[in-house]
Amino acid sequence: MYERFSPLGRRAIVIAGNLATQAGAELVLPEHLLLALMAIPEGMASQALGHFDWIPPVEPPLAPSTGPRGRSASLSRCAAHVIETVAATAEQQDASVTTLDLLTELLLDDRIARLMLQYPLSIDQILGRVETLRARSLSIGDRDVENLVGLFWELTRAARSGGISESMRKNLLQQSAGCQLESASQGSLRVALDDLLSALQS
């Protein structure tokens, strides 16, 4: 099911699972998915949500422990529905699942809709930002942007851990330096590329 997810989309699922497990919760809830999307600043969902000092309350709470330690949390029915829906849509459209897709589907969940009444932005405002992010992707589509951000992030991690050979490092450095990204909506890609260049040059 996760083969359609962009690298950042998969990362969000992993983070959500880790949040639930660390709290000792038995289930990964939609709230955990929302927290995970907020925890990925380079993801488009985070850009759509904006940057506010706001943490959604989670029931059961993030702490104290509400489940057995040492065991991974399973997807709740609501969280599984969100993931299955975006995966099925991506399959039909022969596309990737981005963090923006996850956010859009999450906002349709009743629990999240009630929760977002406390958020500084209304759901309509967030959805407006989502549409703006989609519309501003000119030469590179949203999905491709997020795929590239995820790829750059993985390459950066490999470069900093010494997992890239010298010849590959030089080749990546040459290709990355030639990228010309001018669209304002590609800011996250620009940041990810700059991080990669910095890791390759160090």
pLDDT score at 34: 94
In which residue ranges of the chain is CATH 1.10.1780.10 found? Answer: 2-135
Q: Is the dihedral of CA 66, 68, 69, 73 positive or negative?
A: negative
Structural fold of domain 2-135: Double Clp-N motif (1.10.1780)
Cis peptide before 120 (omega within 30 of 0): no
According to DSSP, the residues that pair with 94 across neighbouring strands are none
Q: Is the pTM of this model over 0.75?
A: no
pLDDT score at 166: 75
Angle at 97 between CA 126 and CA 105, to 5 degrees: 40
- From first to last of the 202 residues of the chain, give the pLDDT tens digit: 788 888 888 999 999 999 998 888 889 999 999 999 998 887 888 888 887 778 777 755 444 444 445 567 899 999 999 999 999 998 898 888 888 899 999 999 988 988 898 898 889 899 888 877 766 654 445 556 666 666 666 677 777 777 777 777 666 666 555 554 433 345 565 666 666 667 766 6
CB atoms inside a 10 Å sphere around CB 181: 15
How far is CA 161 from its chain centroid?
23
